[in-house]
A and B are shown apart, each in its own frame.
Chain A
Amino acid sequence: MATRQRRPTAANAASRAFFEELHAKGHQQMLEKASGTLRFDLVGGPQVEHWYLTIAHGNLVVSQRKGRADVVVTVDGRLLDRIVTGTANATAAFLRGAMRVEGDFVLLMAFQRLFAGPPETGATRVPDESDEADHPERTQR
């Protein structure tokens, strides 16, 4: 990944891990119809940390190199850490003004699908192997 060498604030660790994992994965089926660049500005630390996420045909490239963006999301790094790990909700954060958005809202709507769900809760509800085995005709795609 092309990252500008900048010392990350510890507060942004989960967000950094999230972005880096996205970059490593590359393709996201849920973003196949989306295209454009999102910029996340992580504030609240000693300096603002910029992350650029460029989406084209479902391929996602993450960079910290300055460039053009279709939508800019300004959010406290500690809050984004909670959002990417599922302990806070992005839509609620937006509604209370804790996540400010300028630009292409549709692109952000598509992207927010990638944020994690709450940890632990509901984990037992994922249909498991034995459930599939009971109903072989109903396979998950």
Chain B
Amino acid sequence: MSSDLVQILEGNTFVVSNRSGDIEASLTDPTGLFSFDTRFLSKWVLTVDGKRLNPLSVDDLQYFETRFFLVPGTGTVYVDSDLSVTRHRTVGSGFRESIRLLNHKQEPVSLTLRLEAGCDFADLFEVKDALKKRGEYHTRVDDRRLVLGYRRETFERETWISSSVPATTDEHGLTFAVRIPAHGAWEAAIDVVARIPFVSLLDGPAGRRPGRAARPDMARGLDKWLSRAPRLECGSRSLMTTYQRSLVDLAALRFAPMTSPQHALPAAGLPWFMTMFGRDSILTSLQSIAFTPELAATTLRTLGERQGTRIDDFRDEDPGRILHEMRFGELTAFEERPHSPYYGCADATPLYVVLLDEYERWTGDTKLVRDLEVEARAALNWIDTYADLQGNGYISYQRRNEETGLENQCWKDSWDSISYHDGRLPGFPRATCELQGYAYDAKMRGARLARRVWRDDAFADRLEKEAADLKRRFNRDFWVADGEYFAVAIDTDGRQVDSLTSNIGHLLWSGIVDKSKARRVVEHLMGDRLFSGWGVRTLAEGEGRFNPIGYHVGTVWPFDNSFIAWGLRRYGFKEEAVRIAEGILDAAAYFDGRLPEAFGGYPRSATKYPVQYPTACSPQAWSTGAPLLLLRTMLGLEPIDDQLVVDPALPIDIDHLELLDIPGRWGRRDAFGRGQITTSPRKPRRNPNPR
């Protein structure tokens, strides 16, 4: 996204405008007021006496409010500032814009202020793909309110625009005859409300109401969110900044689902991915569990409510499958896109069980685990049945919706992400390696829950037996003997897709790697082909498709690295975990604490600073969660029985680190650590006591 655009949001309602606060979108231009995946304003232009205004500055006060300081004039030479204008915009179920004019002259002025408004009611997918609308538009002036509307059969969306002071309203906007005394001020508040028939139902009586464009309690809500998170004290100013940034961005990424408007789960990214994504919501909940475990609870409940129950090729739905993505716009409503919800995702289902267990280990909330027993069992069943497309005992994926479904249903979802060493692409179905790791972990964790909460020892025994069998087969079938690493996938002929990738780090996290093989895996992860100095590359240097700025074929992903670091700790490789944590957190400092989705896989020594991969989505949830998981990893936080175990391994530069009031089944606990590890490149040394 271009940096001269300003975006603010609340939930899935957001505004993207230029730096004057104006919106002039075309069908393909991604500016406007959006809510529930529909554009509610495509034109919103403020003029004074027919002239546009120029920005002096823009204050991003909070993620949900912005103030624009403007003056009339062309701005080409200098600014004649007899008049200044501020637009203070706050997002809620639409937005409220408070316009304030200051007359700096010693005499009164009379002028005409005009707000031009219009809307194309484009679906987000239409903005992406430039599709034509099928319904009809209407416009009317009710009393003093301007109503812009769109209807296609029963599908209705309207934008209601009203002002706190009298205006002349026509079908294209509002006009104000303004008279301001000498050195005086004039003010008006304009409410723009996105009217969606089902929204009052979704938000409940305590939520937003029609006609209320902004919620008064949003600032207080953010303060409360920040005060409830653990407090960080440490010797690194940049780490403090990154931590604070992560908490605020995570707050912005909260998305209240239909069924529990008082609770939130992490959406995938701001602003275009402000919706439920199975994979992103689960992984972000895992990353943040030591800090904000309530996000995990809502994620589990909400994804459980929408778990697949049918076989539906259009949606790639199976019984037990956890959804990939939910959307609310016109194309979804008319079944022209499958996102109601779409299920084409092969990892969210095992990860759902992993999150459920991790959540219980932290919080002791056995009630939720009992409540979700049916869902968890259905997820475990999916692994062995619907996901085993090749009948070989491994999870594979292949879309059934060939028109609008997703080809790659693992986290590396771009077209060329899974390749052989020589660059060829395997056919479908594909069984990528990390899916098998997640399946192993899901079975082991499912067994723990079955034994401790569901009181079903026979089921637990069976799961453990299956997990052991899977681990044995996996270490045989995926191990590339001559390279001594795990293949990224098994193809349709059972042959290894033999490129070296970051996926092997996720295998450590899952626990599926034989102890005897772990050291070689770690040597690959920390070797020059994969480790850039900032982090582990998605694809190793020397592979056929390697490209240091290729989306999944050479860039470094902070989220990927946070799970790799966790995996290194799991197998006892503390120093290597610290090296990754330090590299990624160092990179964060270059982005003011907000890690991008990915950055270039150039060697750190070559560029000195991390080169951001251009992307439309920032902050992104699992990049936001990465510093949190890295903090957890460096402090060695593990819930064991009813205790929080702290086993710090920190880089020497951090000196000291304290995380205070960590929530969990123990109430609140503090964790301390001192920097002891020098992270100069060296051979990995194995900790003698892996977990």
**B228 in contact (CB, < 8 A):** no
Closest to B309 in A: A113
**A109 in contact (CB, < 8 A):** yes
Stretch of B172-180, B327-335, B590-598 on the interface side: B327-335
Contacting residue for B377 out of A123, A135, A141, CB 8 A: A141
CA distance A84 to B393 in the complex (A): 34
A131 touches B312 (CB 8 A): no
CA distance A138 to B198 in the complex (A): 43
Query: Which chain B positions have C-beta within 8 A of A118?
Result: 310-314
Query: Which chain A positions have C-beta within 8 A of B374?
Result: 29-30, 32-33
User: Given A122-B311, A134-B391, A135-B393, does the pair A91, B340 have CB atoms closer than 8 Å?
Assistant: yes
Contacting residue for A140 out of B340, B371, B381, CB 8 A: B381
Query: Which chain A positions have C-beta within 8 A of B645?
Result: none
Contact with A along B98-134 (1 / 0, CB 8 A): 0000000000000000000000000000000000000
Query: Which chain B positions have C-beta within 8 A of A106?
Result: 259-260, 305
Query: Which chain B positions have C-beta within 8 A of A3?
Result: none
Closest to B316 in A: A122
**Chain B residue total in the interface (Cβ 8 A):** 47
Contact with B along A93-105 (1 / 0, CB 8 A): 0111110111001
**A86 in contact (CB, < 8 A):** yes
Stretch of B45-53, B87-95, B382-390 on the interface side: B382-390
**A2 in contact (CB, < 8 A):** no
Segment 73-94 of A: residues with Cβ below 8 Å from B: 86, 88-89, 91-92, 94
Query: Which chain A positions have C-beta within 8 A of B377?
Result: 141
**A117 in contact (CB, < 8 A):** yes
B682 to chain A, nearest CB (A): 43
A92 touches B469 (CB 8 A): no
B466 touches A125 (CB 8 A): no
B430 to chain A, nearest CB (A): 17
Max count, chain B CB within 10 A of own CB: residue among A91, A121, A125: A91
User: Main secondary structure on chain B at its contact with chain A?
Assistant: loop
**B600 in contact (CB, < 8 A):** no
CA distance A122 to B311 in the complex (A): 6
Contacting residue for B466 out of A100, A126, A137, CB 8 A: A137
**A24 in contact (CB, < 8 A):** no
User: Given A96-B153, A135-B393, does the pair A122, B400 have CB atoms closer than 8 Å?
Assistant: yes
Query: Which chain A positions have C-beta within 8 A of B315?
Result: 89
**A115 in contact (CB, < 8 A):** yes
CA distance A94 to B326 in the complex (A): 13
B154 touches A109 (CB 8 A): no
Segment 292-343 of B: residues with Cβ below 8 Å from A: 305-306, 309-315, 317-318, 328-330, 332-335, 340-341
CA distance A3 to B13 in the complex (A): 45
Query: Which chain A positions have C-beta within 8 A of B310?
Result: 86, 115-118
**B197 in contact (CB, < 8 A):** yes
Query: Which chain B positions have C-beta within 8 A of A135?
Result: 384, 388, 391, 393
CA distance A6 to B314 in the complex (A): 37
**B155 in contact (CB, < 8 A):** yes
User: Given A89-B340, A92-B335, does the pair A109, B317 have CB atoms closer than 8 Å?
Assistant: no
Segment 139-191 of B: residues with Cβ below 8 Å from A: 152-156
Query: Which chain A positions have C-beta within 8 A of B197?
Result: 97, 100
A95 touches B305 (CB 8 A): no
**B608 in contact (CB, < 8 A):** no
Contact with A along B193-213 (1 / 0, CB 8 A): 000011001100000000000
Closest to B341 in A: A91
CA distance A127 to B388 in the complex (A): 9
Can you give 11 contacting A-B residue pairs, CB < 8 Å? A30-B309, A33-B374, A113-B309, A117-B317, A121-B313, A121-B314, A122-B311, A122-B312, A135-B388, A137-B465, A137-B469
Measuring CB to CB, which residues of chain A are less than 8 angstroms from any residue of chain B? 29-30, 32-33, 86, 88-89, 91-92, 94-98, 100-102, 105-106, 109-110, 113-118, 121-123, 125-127, 131, 134-135, 137-138, 140-141
Query: Ordered nearest first, which 10 A-B pairs have the shortest CB separation?
Result: A117-B310, A96-B333, A95-B333, A122-B311, A97-B154, A121-B313, A96-B155, A138-B384, A91-B340, A113-B309
| 19 other A-B residue contacts (CB within 8 Å) besides A91-B341, A140-B384, A140-B385 | A89-B315, A89-B335, A92-B332, A95-B198, A96-B153, A96-B155, A105-B202, A109-B258, A110-B305, A113-B309, A117-B310, A117-B311, A121-B311, A121-B313, A135-B393, A137-B465, A137-B469, A138-B388, A140-B381
